[in-house]
Chain A
């Protein structure tokens, strides 16, 4: 029990994230099943465990794109994990291999929770909060694959709004930080301005430049 104690706060927050991830997983299963059949979406959720890449690459394949294009799109959508991993790195433990494995626990909700106000990082919050989300994401996909036919048209149910709303909920928890609102507005403006000229994913990565506002010294 005592070994689990440091993870308790993360696990508790992770249950809330997990409920939302379950619903997102359902929407992914519903959207992917007609294209991929019943098995591939579940395997994808189990090994990839990344909503942005899964929705993005599935959209490319559904539009008739090939695997190389789908992989490129999904990879760019996940390019944000590079700076996110740098932020998490000093808090992770052990050998380089073990750090690389612990780094796999970086998913958006847990990572945003684990970044501290001073830029430090809480390893136990990250891992604890990711643990409930993984089974929820995979189980949601299974439910979506099996029940998709009964649900009807996913767009009519508004399922395509679940994904951005998930990030909106995470964002709301961040806006209390000093200067967070200014950074959010600038990052959003960068992403929208670059959307017509760059492939999906890159505008999100480049929006991270808005956080350079942090270099402007203490207020």
Chain B
């Protein structure tokens, strides 16, 4: 249990520091044009990485399991411009359904 509380305290400290670092280092300075061009494309790169590692990895290894089916269902919902809550729910239902039959 001590490990849990140490983890909570330590991670809160490192996460706050990571979020504070950019604002402290850059301050109010305008970023150069080239940096802005990169920043404008940062979100699709990071979000895709989070989607794929969250779906196709387990304990640091690549894996294929029913979460992939759930993500497929969620992708269809996203293409139909469903709200975020619906996209998330569809992923759970799709994953649960495939797990139930395999």
Contacts and interface: CB of A to CB of B under 8 A. Distances in A.
Q: Do A and B come from one complex?
A: yes
Interface in A120-171: 120-121, 155-171
Given A86-B26, A115-B43, A215 B70 contact: no
A20 B57 CA distance: 22
Given A158-B91, A204-B53, A169 B78 contact: yes
A99 B47 CA distance: 25
Identify the interface centre among A44, A67, A106, A157: most chain B CB within 10 Å of its CB.
A67
Contacts of A66: 3
Nearest to B22: A85
A212 B23 contact: no
A62 B36 CA distance: 40
Interface size class of chain B, counting residues whose CB lies under 8 Å from the partner chain: 35 or more
Interface size class of chain A, counting residues whose CB lies under 8 Å from the partner chain: 35 or more
A78 B93 CA distance: 28
B84 A169 contact: yes
B44 A171 contact: yes
Interface in A192-219: 192, 195-196, 199-200, 203-204, 207-215
Identify the interface centre among B3, B49, B51, B52: most chain A CB within 10 Å of its CB.
B49
Contacts of A214: 34, 37-41
A24 B88 CA distance: 9
B2 to A, nearest CB: 8
Which 6 A-B pairs have CB atoms at the shortest separation, nearest pair first? A85-B22, A119-B36, A164-B54, A187-B45, A158-B95, A165-B91
8 contacts: A40-B5, A61-B4, A70-B7, A82-B22, A86-B31, A167-B54, A187-B46, A187-B49
Interface of B: 1-8, 10-12, 14-16, 18-31, 34-57, 59-62, 66-67, 70-71, 74-75, 78-79, 81, 83-85, 87-97, 99-100
Interface of A: 16-17, 19-20, 23-24, 35-37, 40, 43-44, 47-48, 50, 52-53, 57, 59, 61, 63, 66-68, 70-71, 74-75, 78-90, 92-93, 96, 99-104, 106, 108-109, 111-112, 115-121, 155-172, 174-175, 177, 179-181, 183-188, 190-192, 195-196, 199-200, 203-204, 207-215
